[in-house]
Chains A and B, each alone.
Chain A
């Protein structure tokens, strides 16, 4: 990682290697993403006191009928609360109802609590988002931008005139200059220059990233800070439409739309409410016929207990919390619809490089040609790679030291292997024309070339050409070895040596392997158990791709992928009814990202990619898709579990309330009072109290979500049905009985 205070040594653009993918991972981040420790997740703990305080206040504000109306179930409860309150007032005025006052008061209070608890759940879920939005707003501080006066035309740094304007005055198309230490004033695209940028305000990630003109790393985000060098940015969004603005709106849930499944579930809940309304409303005529009219309070209590208040009260909290869980994982979903779709994903398209493999090839084996010892080859490979700072070069050094126990080089100078100390070694870096690298070692530290040793490693044909040029022999077993490695998906690096005036000779081959990230196979197995097929996308030839696919354990692969073949693959899968998820960062990924049902754009990617996808991963971690799928599934499972629980609860409530309200006319109905509740009043009140308290008790579950277990749909269903279905039938019998016992103990049973 790079120290924020001292970015300069690594970052001047001219110091970047010609092949700049070597020093950075595929997403422009400096340093290995794998090695980097995970930073703590954003967001407060589940019951942060400040959030709780704010939520309690909001619970009362949400009593506004205009708010409640959006939730048919809780709206019915609120109307019930109002009516029972009026009933209580009536009871106060009517001496004939004196005996019922306490009961009606109890029911009224607990009905209000039911509404408040549901409001509290929603407010808690929102509160976490609001707290995050506040943090983000701080990043949106007013900043001054240096805008080029001339628009559109060629601008030249330090010569074209600039003016200072406030960031909110910038408009789409404006060109601004941002130098080290400046905040980038708005979203845009780098059109000139390279700079390291601290994007921690958005991503929470302290390691700086490289932003440069052209290519896939040209997008910059307003509110982030340039640490070194300078860039000229073309502003791409008007104020109020920036990424930061959208992000704030998203986490705050400002204009949260109900998602399709949430709407469908709401329809079910509303129709259940109507059914129970019917059952309760028609109960009164039946009761009148039976000579046992039921009080309005008892009827409302029955109604509220029956309608699915548990899920009705927690439904929106579940949705908000689901989005929030994504934000905690540093993923911004542009719509809740996408989160739901993530739960349904059937096919996952993953880029090979950087996702499935480490992105850098690593040396895994030294294969000498006949007549050369393995140790000799290893030593030569080590020497030739000592000064080589590329990941491949470093991996050769590591392999030689670890597997062949080549300790500190025992060569002439006796110094340690750092190139700075190898004054008699002359490193020849890799170049695209020679396609090899190597080292020239002068004999005994003298400048004479007689005893000099030249080591070269590189692509097979390049080395063969080098050896042939020096009239060296090409061993017959070289070509088979090179081919075998290629077929297995690896990259062969041939090593050759020229000692003194002897003709050069080939020593052997270094097997560079595309290393599959550890744990990938397990993750893919997990995905398979979740019912998701993984398809690896790679530009490699089919042979190589097949070998890596086999090793990584993906279900399928697309070799020699182009944007067109990617699109075709997605369309094929979709026409078969499958939902496809993919990640991407480049502009050429944009069409595929837009076509996929769940398109996750890397935050390091281009503006086009970010706009095409329906999610942005701020960590730019392609394996994040797996977590996104889990969050989507969790969201749906939580809804299903609480719906099942809510409906299952009703059985016990019937057994509590029906005998209670009719027991005076039909004492025989006492047989249905299986819980042996003390009095009719305590029975009704216990059911109402249980119904209210269960909402509070389930808030943590609603916010955290029911855990998803990749054990296959059948076992998962059985498990959840057992817990939330059977459990939902049994638990209220126990709960209501306990509350009744407490009411008896408190002498509140009249």
Chain B
């Protein structure tokens, strides 16, 4: 482990700003979903009403969890169809200056599922596959709606946890409209303009063909990037306009844009935790949860930074100086393989940690090229369920499942049947929480095991040994976790190969399972909790506002995660690290 002032300072500055924006974001979320007055009302309220009028939605009517979930599923299924069609017939649609042909059917399916589920796993290169129309009307549309669905499910879950003897969790359509109209669209609009200011293109131009400095012909891809970049980050979608994602100078041109992108990944996750605390009438519980995820975030960020900055001891043996010179741009030290020179180790490892803590999946460096331990941090982050601030919405409800698990295991030790926020955790809640917790390892380990023994699965592996296992494990962790970042090194993108079809299909199932098989038990859990009375807290009640609770939640998250994935990790990054120390790399 090795640390630079630069790297440490970046982590701390980022964290301090995050803490500062948490409460304002949370308060705005509350205003929107509690239908309080916002300063956008004069402009947006008439538009909102128009939507309801056209769609025939009764604004006052609320749904129970089943209706809410059904509405969500109907919306998801129906909204996926246009995306698939756009992909398949984009050559007949406008805004295709690069002349992209129709997308392969299995890829189109995989991509449709990927954007529907907020995963944004991209088994393609954006600039050579998708037309501007598909990018804007298909992919960006889902960037908005999948993020909105995540947020409003979290809001419905919050209502379930905080309402007393109620059966309804809200109106899906109203929540959806308000989330897009009051939160995502206005912020994305301003955000996109800021990105344009920083140098991100926003045009419908055809690709520019130039002769590069060295005289080779070069094609400069461009397009309506800024508008997509904004929602890609704040909606924790992560699907890049270009294949290089946020490592591409047109997606992430400056250190400022880099900081802004990282902050926007965490913004809603953090705000939702605040909202949860505030609406449950127990702001301190919200901060206790915030503390738990903060500590896990910082732990991951420092390990990742330390491992990358330390570099590879094998190179040191060859006489390579891997010690950073803080004041020289020419000597970043550590492991710079796969990292952008513009960002260096500090900005890269922090970005990698943030994008996997949440289910974003945007990347500004190649995780495949990290040291084994440095690369294990993003992998473990995903496997913990992306609850560390987490994706829009999914982070919070995943975290709440762990909170329930924590109070259930340890809550008994205060001599009362477990309760959380005054609600008794009983059979049904336990069943649903257990189901939700079970889904992730089932899909991650199940599909990885399948891929690693089947030829179309393992033949895509580029690197031998434990690193190859890590590549597959990362892929299915990322897809199941709806993260979408790729470890890289897995050759799955060549159309027509068995691996291409195999990963398109298994991946799409992993993504669907990771999204919906997790989400529905959580909704059922919220629906059941909403019906319960709230037992007022007393001196005998399990304390959920103390550092003890924070520590307990951290312990349960880490132990459950570690126990589930330790064997797989031991044969992947852990043994790779030990082999690296022994002089063998992959």
Contact = CB atoms under 8 A, between A and B. Distances in A.
B415 interface: yes
Nearest to B542: A713
Interface in B524-579: 533-536, 538-543, 546, 548, 552, 555, 559, 562-568, 570-572, 574-575, 578-579
Interface stretch (A190-198, A270-278, A445-453): A270-278
A662 interface: yes
A275 B441 contact: yes
Contacts of B563: 275-276, 279, 306, 647, 650-651, 654
A288 interface: yes
A716 B431 contact: no
Interface residues of A, number: 75
A533 B537 CA distance: 12
A95 interface: no
B568 A282 contact: yes
A714 interface: yes
B536 A578 contact: yes
A290 B571 contact: yes
Interface in B368-425: 405, 408-418, 422, 425
A475 interface: no
Contacts of B415: 343, 530, 632-634, 636-637, 708, 716
Nearest to A654: B566
B77 interface: no
Contact of B414 (A577, A668, A713): A713
B146 interface: no
B453 interface: yes
B417 to A, nearest CB: 5
Residue picked from A288, A533, A662, A717, most chain B C-beta under 10 Å: A717
Given A274-B438, A714-B543, A721-B552, A285 B416 contact: no
Contact of A343 (B416, B422, B570, B575): B416
A643 B446 contact: no
Contacts of A644: 409-410, 413
A633 B542 CA distance: 13
A340 interface: yes
Residue picked from B441, B540, B566, B570, most chain A C-beta under 10 Å: B540
Contacts of B468: 289
B435 interface: yes
Residue picked from A268, A532, A576, most chain B C-beta under 10 Å: A268
Contacts of A633: 415-416
B288 to A, nearest CB: 13
A279 B408 contact: no
A669 B578 contact: yes
B469 interface: yes
A286 B452 contact: yes
A648 interface: yes
Contacts of A662: 570-571, 575
A260 to B, nearest CB: 6
Interface in A705-750: 708, 712-714, 716-718, 720-721, 724-725
A278 B445 contact: yes
A408 B533 CA distance: 65
A282 B536 contact: no
A639 interface: yes
A720 B413 CA distance: 7
Given A275-B441, A286-B469, A648-B559, A346 B417 contact: no
Given A346-B538, A669-B570, A285 B409 contact: no
Nearest to B566: A654
A727 to B, nearest CB: 13
Interface of A: 260-261, 263-265, 267-268, 270-271, 274-276, 278-290, 302, 306, 340, 343-344, 346, 528-533, 575-579, 632-634, 636-637, 639-641, 643-644, 647-648, 650-651, 654, 658, 662, 666, 668-669, 671-672, 708, 712-714, 716-718, 720-721, 724-725
28 contacts: A261-B412, A264-B425, A264-B426, A264-B429, A264-B430, A265-B408, A282-B449, A282-B567, A283-B567, A285-B450, A286-B449, A531-B538, A577-B422, A577-B536, A578-B536, A636-B417, A668-B575, A668-B582, A669-B575, A669-B578, A672-B574, A708-B415, A713-B416, A714-B548, A717-B542, A717-B548, A718-B548, A721-B548
Given A264-B425, A285-B449, A640-B410, 13 more contacts: A261-B418, A267-B434, A282-B448, A286-B469, A286-B571, A289-B452, A346-B540, A662-B575, A668-B582, A708-B415, A717-B543, A721-B410, A725-B410
Among all A-B residue pairs, the 7 with the closest Cβ atoms: A531-B540, A640-B412, A633-B415, A271-B434, A668-B578, A577-B533, A640-B413
Interface of B: 405, 408-418, 422, 425-427, 429-431, 434-435, 437-438, 441-442, 445-446, 448-450, 452-453, 458, 465-466, 468-469, 533-536, 538-543, 546, 548, 552, 555, 559, 562-568, 570-572, 574-575, 578-579, 581-582
